[in-house]
Structure 1
């Protein structure tokens, strides 16, 4: 009995010692919970049922091709927009044909490419405020990356994916319509935003006036029927419940267009002016009027109203070439979930922007950027930037970072986003493999993750339908940015690898002293240098060293105890240098700035690690600044 008691007492003592000696983080464990996936769009399911049963018609009785495929993720329309201009402030009629903001009517011929014509008509119209372009529908329909052929059709989501990954657009002259598939063409523009417009007349009208033609979907079978289509007036009104099968474009409206112009009389006046892709010998020179009361008036309205020069960014990091196909989340009812991607920098650039999808109007994205992350843990490493963006409308958006993050080639970095999506718990946009639609989707372990807390429990989305989180990252070369590089000499380890603006150099939790440090600026276009001095055990403050020279000692077993860092050069007044240290018995201290002391004096405490950041003048400090230095008088 006594022996058993002694054994039990020994185990308790060992447990107590381990609890004291092992950091709390080593014990921390957060359960990994598999997220739920959004259900397939019922219209998508019905579409494939029709395909498999042989009941789907791909052309009208008159032989005109259609080609709209419902996307797998149902578009969310549950939040009403309240900030759009009221109808009272908008003109009673408006027609882009009168403004010159429209390109010529096209003919899709035998292909199911209406979606490509409607998408690029919107983009061409947006560009026409400055220049006239003819973009290649051929390249889009052949190089969408999705299953099927150009005969099988597509949708706004597929067009967005093609543009967002920078596969296009390309010019019509480089890839003419009706020619065989052509690959390897460079995009003429980079599209960084595609906006979903709510089915609200005032929102549609204002967006059309501001940016040009808008993509929309309709049910087109009745265009062959005298019951629904008045060919003399090119007036169309359908009041049934068949699903959309064709994409066209809105080019204007007329609030006073008489209901008597329609064969089947709607409940009131008013019509959208619609551009079709069946050639100029159809309808009213290729156009027709759709009643405001049509079952699909204002359906799937999408604005391709963005085009930037192709030198806007130097690199794109992405795992989702097929874009937003599904969504993941957690059934906890708070409409939030975290998504993250871990990337490896292929060049020493500056991370300046990211893009993602807002799944519902009013989506909020809380963004965090980490560098030097550990495998499978997106929120490990060093937190380098935080930012929040809110999107009034759903769609695809690019967010420019307020403070660019310097990256070093080979460095792992993570973009972590907390998505809050009013109206749905499947908050994280993902690319997923869906049979016969996106079978080309593929995912590798260790790249994309979701979490229900954002602090741990990261679920690897490659395990679920080969899914990738839809977060892209964009970098720019350092021609117009500054970067700080530094390394430290650590007890028993020697010189460490170089760290970049915000990385951790040194160790903590290992009781190893810093003995020396080298700091230099990596800049282009600025007259900017850096100088620094260290407080050394038994020696006190040393003279300033600069631009990569060593401050401290090696081979003498002397600890660094404090440091001062400041910028030099003609452009020094345009930047601030922040730095913080990890000190023995203190831990991470607050941030010092522009030559003030960081560390301790009079305690005999060693420095164990350091972070340095150079930021544009006036930027917010990376963290607290109250107590970067302690002195024992």
Structure 2
């Protein structure tokens, strides 16, 4: 009896979602994670402000189910605790437990929490599908490929005052993004008439919301391809790594230029020194950071390359070298073709090519937000940048001055993953 009821519910949901379109096609014109038989529950975030961790948790669950074949629950508030716990000494720190729902306000914060390792899983890939300035975007075909590859794409939209919104269809052409949802599918033939006469062509994204299953169409809705939507990023998790070490505590932004970065020309080479023993299986960092026309750091939606080296702590001996290329900006782990055994002090050296910058922590900000503060530190001998053939310590204030920075940088965003 239970099996029959479950089948009936699944059929009912499928009918509600796809029955309003032209029908499910046999080619690539329509697809969703629901077609795969996955049933990731629709969550209810409750008060406004918690959409990012709730959507992020759902995105991770879809990814683990879709790519690793495992069922795993990610409680949204666990992500907040990992990233912004009141007892933390560095990174984002909540001022009070009551601010929990607003603690994670952007995808970068979730990325770094997952990159640091979460319950046996580690983030190994999180591409950006739009630059922070919104000047560059990927195509609809790229988004479709990302859904198939990762299980979903996080997206920002205007949920409070869209141009048109029904119980199952959404259209907006005025920007003002204020809410995060997860896109888990598409239908090229979803009728334009469903968007109140605003859409000029057929086609829509299938999105899962975080307002509970009584909202919209069982918690899902369709977004016109023509809508103003910020298609942000996806998550790829791995269960192959046992430990992650890093000097960086959490990614931060300033009021003018978002993320902080350092650059020395066509190639920028940085190094982190660690004292640890084990087998290095991968190195993670942000790639594709550049200086845009407004004088701010932004992420480019274009190919880029880096070179990773494992060296002795004094940089004199190269133990391992590997090149890596990426189709677009984001956070990535380069899995080493040959794991490297280390015992005691060693360094990880990364060269960012193509004129790209290295993303680094900014200085502490006690007034980062109403709900949290941002605390960073750097010690002598931890992080370096290569300038004119000389290794310069980022803890030395003169290094920031010679780099032409108004603020002193902290540690580069580099993770070392062990197997």
Shorter chain as denominator, the TM-score bin is 0.7 to 0.9
Cross-structure match for 1:305: 236
Cross-structure match for 1:616: none
Residue by residue, what CA displacement relative to the aligned partner does 1:197-249 show, whole Å, maximum 9, x if unpaired? 353110111121233122111122125xxx52123xx211111132x211100
Partner SS, residue 143 of structure 1: helix
Q: Does 1:366 align with 2:294?
A: no
Contact 1:161–1:324, Cα closer than 8 Å, also in 2: no
CA spacing shift, 1:307–1:419, aligned 2, 3 Å: same
Q: Does 1:165 align with 2:112?
A: no
141, 157, 163: which one aligns with 1:202: 141
Partner SS, residue 429 of structure 1: strand
Normalised by the size of structure 2, how large is the TM-score?
0.75
Using CA pairs below 8 Å that are at least 6 residues apart, which structure has the higher relative contact order? 2
Partner SS, residue 202 of structure 1: helix
CA spacing shift, 1:414–1:271, aligned 2, 3 Å: same
Output the CA distance in 1 between the equivalents of 2:358 and 2:238: 26
Residue by residue, what CA displacement relative to the aligned partner does 1:164-216 show, whole Å, maximum 9, x if unpaired? 112x2xxxxxxxxxxxxxxxxxx142222222235311011112123312211
Aligned length: 342
Shift of residue 295 of structure 1? Answer: 1.3
Mapping of residues 108-257 of structure 1, within 5 Å: 108-110=45-47, 112-129=49-66, 130-145=69-84, 146-148=92-94, 149-152=99-102, 153-166=104-117, 168=118, 187-197=119-129, 199-222=138-161, 227-231=163-167, 234-242=168-176, 244-257=177-190
91, 113, 122: which one aligns with 2:28: 91
Shift of residue 275 of structure 1? Answer: 0.8
CA spacing shift, 1:382–1:131, aligned 2, 3 Å: closer
Contact 2:164–2:170, Cα closer than 8 Å, also in 1: yes
Contact 2:273–2:313, Cα closer than 8 Å, also in 1: no
What is the root-mean-square deviation in Å for CA atoms of aligned residues?
2.4
Contact 1:252–1:272, Cα closer than 8 Å, also in 2: yes
Output the CA distance in 1 between the equivalents of 2:110 and 2:212: 21
Contact 2:262–2:360, Cα closer than 8 Å, also in 1: no
Contact 1:364–1:391, Cα closer than 8 Å, also in 2: yes
Output the CA distance in 1 between the equivalents of 2:349 and 2:377: 21
Output the CA distance in 1 between the equivalents of 2:364 and 2:181: 26
Output the CA distance in 1 between the equivalents of 2:27 and 2:234: 19
Output the CA distance in 1 between the equivalents of 2:418 and 2:120: 19
Output the CA distance in 1 between the equivalents of 2:261 and 2:151: 33
Output the CA distance in 2 between the equivalents of 1:194 and 1:90: 28
Shift of residue 367 of structure 1? Answer: 1.7
Cross-structure match for 2:3: none
Output the CA distance in 2 between the equivalents of 1:323 and 1:308: 23
- Structure index of larger Rg: 1
Q: Does 1:321 align with 2:264?
A: no
Cross-structure match for 1:397: 332
* Structure 2 alignment gaps of length 5 or more: 1-25, 85-91, 130-136, 254-258, 289-299, 398-406
Contact 1:433–1:465, Cα closer than 8 Å, also in 2: yes
Contact 2:116–2:245, Cα closer than 8 Å, also in 1: no
Shift of residue 350 of structure 1? Answer: 3.0
Residue by residue, what CA displacement relative to the aligned partner does 1:300-356 show, whole Å, maximum 9, x if unpaired? 4311122315xx23x432011314752423474x3x3112111122x3x23332111
Normalised by the size of structure 1, how large is the TM-score?
0.51
CA spacing shift, 1:462–1:404, aligned 2, 3 Å: farther
Cross-structure match for 1:523: none
Shift of residue 111 of structure 1? Answer: 5.1
Shift of residue 442 of structure 1? Answer: 2.2
CA spacing shift, 1:400–1:133, aligned 2, 3 Å: closer
Contact 1:190–1:307, Cα closer than 8 Å, also in 2: yes
Shift of residue 461 of structure 1? Answer: 5.2
Mapping of residues 605-624 of structure 1, within 5 Å: none
